[in-house]
Amino acid sequence: MRVYFLSEKPCYLKAAGLPVGTVDGFERTAELDPADNVLLEFLCPGHHPVVCTFSEQFLFSPPEDIRLYFTKRGVAVYVAAFRPVDTALRPLAQERIGDILCTLYRQGGVQLSVQTGEGFQIVDLGDEFAGAKIYPAGDDILLEAPSAFCILDRNGTVLTKSEGTVSERGRIVTADIPFHDSLGHIARCSYEGGKLTACSILTSESPTAATYALALFETVLIGGDVLPFLAENLLEKASALGEYLGPFRSVVLGNRPEEVGLVYEVRPRVFEVRYFCVTLEEDGKISNIRPAEGIG
């Protein structure tokens, strides 16, 4: 089985005690057989190692710190969290929003305490939030870091957490979320009450079919009007598009300019990426949406 390794922090990977190399946001691949029960060790300085066995059980139910993404090419093993060795308590920021006291601190990882008269909630965050500032967002709380943001309700429940740069804050929060692809695609997303309410796709290069597909699928995701994206032959099928695509959770780019992947949750921490190709008319309208074959 082809296995792709990625990590939220740069780390060093060993397989069966043998060095594989550095893993970060770029894919490192290997051929592994689940029947061999290969021991995987992800080592990150200043953090406890993430250790697991690549087996059938692992593919069915990975440990808490790992996410699995199944594609036609194989499976992507993503290390989503490393636990720091240093667990000393260090306050980072504190703000009072109405009757809510928000305290950002580091104790092992970066955490946020949300306290009201009814009680308090502790929220685990990534290291990217170490320099975050705390703002009101309507009735909610905005945690804004240089390259990430998080919207929580007054009880400390995470409504939205994402990479991105906030450009507008208040009752409506707007942020630019990069796709990290060669065309420089960015999703400019707006949130109200922590829910995605608007999304437009921007690109620094000439748009491809994937640019239009991204805009269409993100619109489906938020329940927006898809008619402006569709050619005349698909207009009468617009209402069935959500059922055709199914309950996907997010959108990713594929390997070809007309290919886009939709991410579906199969089980906790286990996801399947299904790829779709679109056919574009000269006016930029989408005239066909079909599952991609032999790619992804």
Q: Is 35 in a helix, a strand, or coil?
A: helix
Q: Where are the domains of the chain?
A: 2-79, 89-184, 207-291
Contacts of residue 53, Cβ cutoff 8 Å, sequence gap at least 6: 37, 38, 39, 40
Distance CA 140, CA 119 (A): 16
pLDDT at 294 (0 to 100): 55
pLDDT at 296 (0 to 100): 43
Contacts of residue 90, Cβ cutoff 8 Å, sequence gap at least 6: 105, 106, 107
pLDDT at 25 (0 to 100): 65
Q: Is 85 in a helix, a strand, or coil?
A: coil
pLDDT at 26 (0 to 100): 67
Q: Which of 124, 133, 112 is nearest to 83 (CA)?
A: 124
Q: What burial class does residue 32 get, using C-beta atoms within 10 Å of its C-beta: 0-12 exposed, 13-18 middle, 19+ buried?
A: buried
Distance CA 228, CA 223 (A): 14
pLDDT at 189 (0 to 100): 95
For residue 241, give the H/E element and its range: helix 241-245
Beta strands 186-192 and 195-202 are antiparallel
For residue 242, give the H/E element and its range: helix 241-245
Contacts of residue 199, Cβ cutoff 8 Å, sequence gap at least 6: 187, 188, 189, 190, 215, 218, 219, 221, 222, 224
Residue reference for tokens 């690549």: 54
Distance CA 136, CA 97 (A): 6
Q: Which of 88, 142, 148 is nearest to 112 (CA)?
A: 142
| pLDDT tens over the chain, length 296 residues | 999 999 988 999 999 999 989 998 666 889 999 999 999 999 999 999 999 999 999 999 999 999 999 998 899 999 998 988 988 899 999 999 999 999 999 998 899 999 998 889 999 998 899 999 999 999 999 999 999 999 999 999 999 999 999 999 999 999 999 988 878 999 999 999 999 999 999 998 888 898 999 999 999 998 889 999 999 999 999 999 999 999 999 999 887 888 899 999 999 999 999 999 999 998 889 999 999 875 44
pLDDT at 284 (0 to 100): 87
Whole-model pTM: value is 0.83
